[in-house]
Amino acid sequence: MSENLNPEEENRIKKAFATRDWSEIKSADSWAIFKIMAEFVNGFEKMSQIGPCVSIFGSARTKPDNKYYKMAEEIAAKLVRHGYGVITGGGPGIMEAGNKGAKSEKGKSVGLGIVLPFEQSGNIYIDPDKLIAFDYFFVRKVMFIKYAQGFVVMPGGMGTLDELFEAVTLIQTKKIGRFPIVLVGKDYWSGMMSWITETMLGAEGNINADDLKLIELVDTPTEAVQVIDDFYARYLLQPNF
């Protein structure tokens, strides 16, 4: 296995098995705690003032000529016209499309970036005062969830799945409110939803049937925004700006 690892990756694995004395643990972990606290404080201060928003998740690899890029851009523009701001991960691909759509309608365009060695910095469509960079994925995910009134999930990879199931789990366990979650792209998501229904629910009983009601599967930007509008119409709620 080590033949497939570069020296930096191999060193990280070896360090996980190394014995550290108390002074090393205290020094390294204590400073990490302060850095984590600083990221939370900075995020809370900036995000608490943005108003009603919808988080848009999706792949950083999606190109501008891809149909899902164009759909994400349209969804974001429609959300702004309906009174919402847009939150993305701040990078390229679907994230860029979401910020671009929000910017085109002069809406709030938020980017929650993550510091990674292989991805570029924030896209050009984020409001300058609403670009926040994080070192810790878990802090960033708190901001995605805590300050969103809905979630639109476009086709994506591992990170997108992580964000999707984080939102579903927190709603399922009643740690956050029952905010709408919309999967866009039936061709892309139907296989996963069939597995969840047939295997996770049907064969193994690892979830309840009601859990499936937490997710709506749609195919168009109009349907995606309609799900969110209909959800809040039931409670006679609407964005306050």
pTM, two decimal places:
0.88
Q: Which of 137, 158, 145, 160 is nearest to 87 (CA)?
A: 145
Residue 238's pLDDT is 62
Sketch out the chain's domains with CATH numbers: 36-233 (3.40.50.450)
pLDDT for 185-202, tens place per residue? Answer: 999 999 999 999 999 999
Half-sphere exposure of 196 (CA within 13 A, CB side): 16
174 Rama sector, left if φ>0, alpha if ψ -120 to 50, beta otherwise: left
Q: Note whether 95 and 154 are within 8 A (CB).
A: no
Residue 8's pLDDT is 74
Residue 2's pLDDT is 46
pLDDT string in tens for the chain (241-residue length) = 445 777 777 776 766 666 666 566 666 678 889 999 999 999 999 999 899 999 999 999 999 999 999 999 999 999 999 999 999 999 999 999 999 999 999 999 999 999 876 655 789 999 999 999 999 999 999 999 999 999 999 999 999 999 999 999 999 999 999 999 999 999 999 999 999 999 999 999 999 999 999 999 999 999 999 999 999 988 766 664 4
Alpha-helix runs per DSSP H in 48-113: 67-81, 94-104
Residue 110, CA distances (Å) to 53, 62, 183 in order: 9, 19, 20
User: What whole-number distance in Å separates Cα of residue 199 and Cα of residue 193?
Assistant: 10
- Pull the structure tokens for residue 89: 């991960």
Residue 237's pLDDT is 61
Residue 22's pLDDT is 59
